[in-house]
Amino acid sequence: MEPIDILTYMGIAMAGCALIMFFMVLIQVARRIMNLLISTTPTIIPKPIEIPKTKSKEIKQKRRTEYMSKEASEGITFNDIFMFMIAVPLVLLWVGFAGFVIHSGLNKPEVLANIEAYTTLIAILGGPALLIIKDALDVWKQEQAEKTAFYKTKAQAVIDYNDATQKQSQMIEAKAQEQEHKMESKK
């Protein structure tokens, strides 16, 4: 099998993966639109029916954080679609083709005869792929820096809370001892 045939098959496979991802994104967008339409549709509340009282069940109230997590969730953005439709397949194609050329070059001398053409193709795919990888790493570094800052803030808050709790308990003990001394001196 020639390297060009394998490259064609890899391209077809990547296009198929991109098509599958496109349909997955499309389905998610349709679900969100349907949920939005359903949640904004006014509902008619029927007149309550009198039911004889029995044991009342406790209704679990949702915590504030559950509401916040739903509100804070972001939808699918153009950048998400771009990453899954273009960036991910491009990087995978670049890495796969480079690995294929290296493997074929070690086993077949005819690949070494056309190595300049293959390296040119690797370079053409590699330029955008490297920029995408660099941006992804920058985003990852930023997320890690935010996590580190968050944990530092959280740790400082815990330290401050423990310090305030200790000072408060010392103050309570001092006031209790002072009260005891006053009670003893009055006797």
Q: DSSP H helical segments within 73-114, as ranges?
A: 78-82, 88-107, 109-113
The number of distinct structural domains making up the chain is 1
Asked if residue 20 is part of any domain, the answer here is yes
Residue 67 belongs to a domain: no
* pLDDT at site 154: 93
pTM of the model: 0.44
More confident residue, 55 or 22: 22
Residue 7 domain-assigned (yes or no): yes
> Tell me: the pLDDT tens digits for 37-66?
777 666 566 566 666 666 555 555 555 555
**Tell me: the pLDDT tens digits for 99-123?**
888 888 888 888 778 888 888 888 8
- Asked if residue 110 belongs to a domain, the reply is yes
Give 135-144 pLDDT, tens digit per residue. Answer: 888 888 888 8
In a domain, 127, yes or no: yes
